[in-house]
Every structure is written in C-alpha cells, then in structure tokens.
C-alpha cells in the first residue's frame, strides 16, 4: 500500500533531521475558523492569505497570519475601522483555539486551577512542555429530527476524540476519531442504497434499527519540514482545492484516503504535490475478509500571487490503477507529464485546469475554476456537442458585509460539468473514491446554482441560509448518459449530440435554514430546517421533503447533505 511513498517519508525524515523545524497540525474543514479567514483575506489583502484555496489550513501558518492582522488593528486605524466588533471577537477566539502558536501571552494564561484540564477556554486537556505539546478535546454531535411524511425519527449520534500536538518542535501530529450511529433523511438513504457508501464516510454497517447506519471515522497525519520553504504531511484524511463551496478539481465529499503531501511556499509561489491511495468502486457493505481494489491519484497545483489582489493557479492531476501498486513515474513532481505518459502507453485519466481568485475593493472576491478531462481541439471548436468535450467550470462571488450590514456575507456560485467528465475506461481510472465522486458531489452532466447568506449578528449567534438548485441528466432506460463517473464512457449510446441535461432530466431545489448558538467555546446548540423538492422527466415528482433537526455539537463541524 503505497510502499515506496511510505519508505520515502521515513527516509526523508531521517535523512534531513537538521532541517526539521516546529510543525503544526491542520484545522479540520468546516470549522468556524474558515469563515474568519475568508473575511480577513478579502478585507486586508494579506498576500499569504491568498493561498487559502489549499485546504485544510495549517494551524501554525494561519495563526501567524491572523496574529499579524490582529497586531495591525492596534497600529493602523484604517485596518481597525474595517474590522467589526464581531471580527475582533472572532480573531481573539481563533487565537485562543490556537494558543500554542500565538505570541499573545494574555491568551496563554491558565483559565482555572485545574492545570492541564481546561488550561485555556479552547482546550479540554492540554500539556505544554519544552519538548512535548499535546491537546485533547472531546467530539460530540447529537442531532434529532423529523421528516414530514416519514414515520421514523432522523438522528445522528457521533462521539469521539480529537488530539493534536508536536514532539520536540520537530514533528507535528493530529488524530481524529469518531463513532457514529445515524438514520438519515430518505433521499440520503436512497443515495446510500445506490452507491453502497455513506457520503463522506465510505464503509458502514447496518445499525440495529430499521434504515440506520453504524460506522467509524479515523483521520490523522504526521507533519514535518524538510527545507526552509518545504513542508511534508503524511496521513489519512481529505483534501480540498478551491475557493468555492464546491470544487471541480478535488473536494472533501468522498471518503478519507492515504496521502503524502509536499507543499512548497516561496516568494509569491505555492506549489503543492499530492499523492494518494484510494479505493476503487466496490459492492462491499459489511462483509469482512475482502481486500478492496485500490487506485491511485497524483496532483500538482501551482499558484502565484500575481498581485496583492489576484491569485492564479494551474492544476495537473492523474487517476490510475496498477494492480494495487503505485507507478513510480508519477513521483515526478513536475507539472504536465502527459508526454511522459504517452511514452509508456499510459491509459490513465489525466486532468488539466486553471483557477483564479480576485479580491476587489476589500468587499468582494471573484473566483473560478476551469478543468479539462479531455482536450481535443478539433471537437472543442468544431463539434461542441461531442462526448469528447469533457470539461467543467465554476464561477463564484463572495460579498462580505453585504449592503453595509456588518458580518452579513453573501456568496453566489455556479458549477457546470459536461456529460462524461470524470469518467474513464474503467473503475481504476475514473474520478471517484470508495463509490463516491472525488470532485463535485453530483458527478457530471449538470448545471448547478448556489446562493448562501451567512450572518453573525451577535458574537455567539451564527445564522446561515442557502438555496441550491440544479438540473442533471440521469441514465435513461439503462443507457449511460454521462452523469455517473463510475460507469465507463465506452458504454455511451452515441458519440454526438451531448448537452448538459441529456438523458432523464432531473431538477432539484434544496433550501436550508440554520441557526447555531455558542454556549461555550466550540459548544453549539443547532437548529436546521431543510426543504427539498426533486422531480425527473420519467419518474415524475418525488414528494417534497421537509426536515427539521436540532441538537448539540462540540468541537465538530455541522453535517450537511447538500445534493
């Protein structure tokens, strides 16, 4: 299982011990910190924050950057005036939750007499010695609700632990473990039944209640520095590339995967190399003793701060299978290896793309992605409806303090993916991981629009309203219409006359209203209302789903089934 990469990690660590410096864990995706960092990036145009499309975030790097902004609010009246009282409160909370990396001594003082327990407001248990730092926090997400027309309750019961730390200022580490029992809304149950996987979790076992699921999730990594500007991370987790709600490159929707990440940040450049071992499509639910088929992924992403307000990126990736072993050719960290692939007769699935982000007037951010799964200039320009035209694009806009309302942010996003994008010859090379799309949750052959309003009217009150609408072409009468990346494109019924929505046209509208109140640091009470309507041309209208849930959440991000 990625034997060479594992050996490479160990070899580099022992080969360059003098280069190793203090290392940090990463901020789990979906936490409240991400909203703060997006706002500070747009308001301050801090050049290091322009690389925020690389997720998850390194705690050390972003704490230093947030602390820099924090210092400016005392030294620069213009910066201070741009930050609302809620922004300043969120900055303080961010630094408290990452106190091991801040120089503000007032945030490091013990909050009570119990020494290691509740040493600071953000930590349940903390040890901070010269050669060893450890933080341990409980994880909890208990939600209970009702779906109209469904006679069984909806629930989620997740418990776990999250720890992070470092050893001798040389190696950073983190571990995230949860155990979950849940019964999901009926449209999610239908998804699980079709794809044999829990969205974002993969393997599951039937729970001892009707239509319930039981599964565990383990994520973790080790990080170290091999040169002044180069970090390495080896672990089992998810990654995300993009500035939007979705990503057409690489998203955190699918199951976790084994990975090696090399990140080089120097001058105005950030270059990331990512190598992953994934699980090919399979029919396993709860059967043991079966070694699931593996597949492999390699990505290079180069981005540059062209100006203080403009970031440009180039993306190059390949998905492939080699009978459960990695192809050493793909350890080459250089962009655009297509010519090298041709030399070895590679049948692999290569994708190329570009992305951009522009921060405008300290209020707006315009962002986007374009990627090509196939690039045949002959059909691209002369036959726009050919199946060969496999590409996707995204365009979005963020507007902070919208219409002069402090801490009210608006985000609009459009995603369009052509039929057969992400699909390939077989299951080892399609853009999937453990029966789930590896990029956009919908797969392909769709047009999607998203609108989100986020508000924090009070320091502890978080409000969120979103509307998601999409149309998608589904398989019809058993024919592959290009929406499911797990089906080989060789099963298509024709080669021409393909447009977005070809097949059984489905339309979906999902409206979500959420409110969360923070009782104590990272301890939330949640209430969520979902309204989903869905219909297709062939099967007609599915009964609308109205779902309301409420519960308590501690040190965890909100769960979402936005599809």
pLDDT tens digits along 49-102: 889 999 999 999 999 999 999 988 877 777 788 899 999 999 999 999 998 888
pTM over 0.85: yes
Rounded Cα distance, 259 and 250, in Å:
13
The predicted pLDDT at position 287 comes to: 56
Strand extents, DSSP E, 400-460: 408-417, 432-433, 436-437, 446-458
Rounded Cα distance, 363 and 334, in Å:
36
In the chain, which stretches have pLDDT less than 70? 1-22, 105-121, 284-289, 324, 337-346
The predicted pLDDT at position 343 comes to: 53
For β-strands 349-360 and 364-372, DSSP reports them as antiparallel
pLDDT digits (tens, 9 = 90+) for 347-386: 789 999 999 999 999 999 999 999 999 878 888 888 999 9
The predicted pLDDT at position 21 comes to: 58
Q: For residue 78, give the DSSP letter.
A: H
Tokens 């149950």 -> residue = 189
Rounded Cα distance, 366 and 355, in Å:
11
Q: Is 468 exposed, middle or buried (0-12, 13-18, 19+ CB in 10 A)?
A: buried
Q: Architecture of domain 3-554 in CATH?
A: Beta Barrel (2.40)
**Element housing 445 (H / E):** none
């Amino acid at each position: 299982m990625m034997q060479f990469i594992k050996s490479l990690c160990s070899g580099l660590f022992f080969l360059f011990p003098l280069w190793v410096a203090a290392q940090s864990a990463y901020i789990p995706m979906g936490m409240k910190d991400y909203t703060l960092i997006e706002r500070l990036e747009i308001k301050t145009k801090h050049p290091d924050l322009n690389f925020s499309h690389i997720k998850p975030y390194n705690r050390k790097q972003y704490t230093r950057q947030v602390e820099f902004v924090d210092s400016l609010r005392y030294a620069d009246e213009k910066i201070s005036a741009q930050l609302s009282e809620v922004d300043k409160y969120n900055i303080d909370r961010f630094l408290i939750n990452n106190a091991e990396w801040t120089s503000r001594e007032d945030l490091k003082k013990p909050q009570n007499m119990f020494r290691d327990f509740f040493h600071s407001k953000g930590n349940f248990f903390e040890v901070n010695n010269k050669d060893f730092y450890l933080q341990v926090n409980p994880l909890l997400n208990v939600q209970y609700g009702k779906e109209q027309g469904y006679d069984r309750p909806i629930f989620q019961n997740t418990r776990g632990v999250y720890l992070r730390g470092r050893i001798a200022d040389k190696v950073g580490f983190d571990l995230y473990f949860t155990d979950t029992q849940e019964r999901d809304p009926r449209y999610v149950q239908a998804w699980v039944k079709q794809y044999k996987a829990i969205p974002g979790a993969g393997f599951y076992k039937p729970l001892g209640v009707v239509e319930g699921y039981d599964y565990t999730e383990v994520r973790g990594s080790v990080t170290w520095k091999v040169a002044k500007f180069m970090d390495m991370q080896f672990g089992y987790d998810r990654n995300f590339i993009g500035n939007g709600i979705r990503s057409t490159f690489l998203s955190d929707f699918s199951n976790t995967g084994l990975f090696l990440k090399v990140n080089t940040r120097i001058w105005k450049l950030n270059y990331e190399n990512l190598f992953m071992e994934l699980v090919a499509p399979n029919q396993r639910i709860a059967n043991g003793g079966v070694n699931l088929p593996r597949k492999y992924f390699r990505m290079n992403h180069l981005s540059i701060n062209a100006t203080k307000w403009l970031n440009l990126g180039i993306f190059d990736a390949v998905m492939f299978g080699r009978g459960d072993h990695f192809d050493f050719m793909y350890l080459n960290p250089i962009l655009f290896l297509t010519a090298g692939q041709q030399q070895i007769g590679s049948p692999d699935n290569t994708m190329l793309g570009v992305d951009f982000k522009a921060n405008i007037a300290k209020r707006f951010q315009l962002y986007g992605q374009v990627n090509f799964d196939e690039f045949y200039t002959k059909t691209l320009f002369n036959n726009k409806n050919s199946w060969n035209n496999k590409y996707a694009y995204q365009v979005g806009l963020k507007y902070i303090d919208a219409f002069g309302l402090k801490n009210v942010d608006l985000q609009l996003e459009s995603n369009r993916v052509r039929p057969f994008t992400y699909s390939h010859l077989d299951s080892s090379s399609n853009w999937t991981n453990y029966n789930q799309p590896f990029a956009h949750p919908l797969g392909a052959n769709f047009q999607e629009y998203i609108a989100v309003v986020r508000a924090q009217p009070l320091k502890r009150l978080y409000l969120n309203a979103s509307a998601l609408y999409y149309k998608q072409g589904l398989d019809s009468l058993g024919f592959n219409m290009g929406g499911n990346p797990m089906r080989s494109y060789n099963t298509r019924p024709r080669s021409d006359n393909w447009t977005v929505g070809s097949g059984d046209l489905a339309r979906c509208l999902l409206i979500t209203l959420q409110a969360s109140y923070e009782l104590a640091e990272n301890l939330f009470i949640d209430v969520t209302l979902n309204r989903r309507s869905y219909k297709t041309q062939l099967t007609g209208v599915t009964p609308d789903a109205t779902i309301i849930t409420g519960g308590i959440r501690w040190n965890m991000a909100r769960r979402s089934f936005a599809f």
